[in-house]
Chains A and B, each alone.
Chain A
Amino acid sequence: MTTLKQWTKNRNIVHELIRKNVKTQYRNSVLGIFWSVLNPLLNMLVMWMVFSQFFGRNDPLYPIYLLTGNVLFQFLRSSTTVSMTSIVNNRGLITKVKIDQYLFPLSSTLTSLVNFAFSLISLLIIMLCMQLFGGYALYGYQILFMLLMLPAFLLFQYGISLFLSVLYVFFRDIKHLYNVFLTLWTYITPVFYKIDNIDPGSIAYKVLRLNPMYYFLSYFRDSVYLLCNSGGGVPSWKILGFLYLLGLISIAIGYAIYLPLKNKTINYV
């Protein structure tokens, strides 16, 4: 089969898998797809109420800081954890039809992108309310730069997803290990605290700077509201380039484990 034909075929499969994933997710809910916007919106309101009582009282925009961090990290968390089990969970397909296995983590990652889009809508609604009723300048053209960052972030997540999904075939307990790792990762990412409060000479600061999510999140916040609020400018091109580099490294690691093992997995799923 020619490469182009194979590519079209795989694109169709991914398309159908995403459709199926999104549909099964909301099959039994009355509100259906509307739930996807309402659910993050309600979560955000709860977080807002709880966290703003404890942190960032002196920063009126702290809720937005918190929500942007949470939306982006939740995207990573859901895409990688769902992807991890995707090859094993589709054993019914893998053992019965000829199908490229990388399509499962890929479509799970892209399904999370759909959910992320809905969370983003809720975030933008909250920001709009703050702009209209609070008088804060939040909406600027910089938000379009977020779209430039997304492909890099998807590459980054897909690389991790591919790596985890292959590993999970052989070691089922990495699920628990990864959960612990995710908790750690949440804490070393400035999701709810601010990095300016940390002493640049400390170990904590150095660890933070080694964390790829720190860079993705900084760029995300800059483009979504920070730059507009602090008077303008465009997000750093240098960081954007670095984000794409991170994405490519992640993909390379993912395929480095997938390619040599892809013919073995079928005996272990």
Chain B
Amino acid sequence: MEEKNSENTEYLLKIENLNMKFRMPTLKFDTLKERVVNFFKGKKNPKKELQVLENVNCEIKRGESLGVIGHNGAGKSTLLKIVAGIYRPTSGKVDLKGNVVLLNLGAGFDMEASAEENVYLNGAILGFSRKQMKKRFDSIIEFAELQDFVKMPLKNFSSGMISRLGFAIAIDVHPDLLLVDEVLSVGDANFQKKCIEKINSMKEKGVSFMFVSHNITQVKNLCEKTLWIENSKIKGYGPSEQVCKEYTEYCNSIQKK
């Protein structure tokens, strides 16, 4: 009994004192010529430091889901990219005990390649061989409802079709943690419903989600806890019901001003 208890409290993801700074050049020099010319002119290219996330702490237990809300540019997507390992944080610790898949708009696709090639390429990036992906291929295409477009280059796809494909791949590779960055908002109502059903059934199987969305109702329904980021800092963290309420009140108060 005790053992089971300790398993339940084991965390899947733990973020401690996370800071992320970008050093952005204020002028865009991206040719050698510009560099040389500006060097002789004595013009420097000062770097501006941009703090995107400041002292973020949060935790996700196995099977638990975390919603991430906040205004545009608050740092939500950056947080997800750090968890996915695309960015390296400036300081702080990200401890992840499992494999993770990030799902965002145009998720790692090559627009010139066909849907089929992209499924295999994405599979390889997620650590699956061609043989393993072949077994999953039909169910992925079926879930994405793209049977008639398998050989078509992705540049001819609509944004909804692309996000459907991304979602279908991500759910089929069985991650421990699935990071969802506003993907559901692109699909039509039917597909959204299908996705939410799938998410719920995956949650029952013990998959955790980190869910960035502007749809507060969806966040409330899908996530036990919610993280509210405002201007790169945590403004609220706790049970979804409470944090979402505070966020809605905050949004309303801003609108009134």
Contacts and interface: CB of A to CB of B under 8 A. Distances in A.
Contact of B117 (A13, A16, A99, A173): A16
B117 A171 contact: no
Nearest to A93: B108
Contacts of A15: 124, 130
B232 interface: no
A19 interface: yes
A98 B130 contact: no
A266 B33 contact: no
Interface string B111-141: 1111001001111110111100000000000
Contacts of B108: 92-93, 96-97, 99
Nearest to A10: B124
- How big is the A interface, by class? 20 to 34
B30 A170 contact: yes
Contacts of B39: none
A267 B21 CA distance: 12
Contacts of A12: 124, 127-130
B32 interface: yes
B78 to A, nearest CB: 11
9 contacts: A17-B121, A19-B117, A19-B120, A20-B110, A23-B114, A93-B110, A96-B102, A97-B125, A171-B30
Contacts of B109: 92-93
Interface string A231-269: 000000000000000000000000000000001001110
Contacts of B123: 16
Contacts of B81: 95
Interface stretch (B84-92, B202-210, B217-225): B84-92
A172 B31 contact: yes
B107 interface: yes
Contacts of A268: 30
B240 interface: no
A5 B86 contact: no
B104 interface: yes
Contacts of B84: 97-98
Interface in A86-138: 90, 92-99
Contacts of A24: 112-113
B113 A13 contact: no
Contacts of A97: 84, 86, 102, 107-108, 122, 125
A264 to B, nearest CB: 9
Contacts of A90: 110
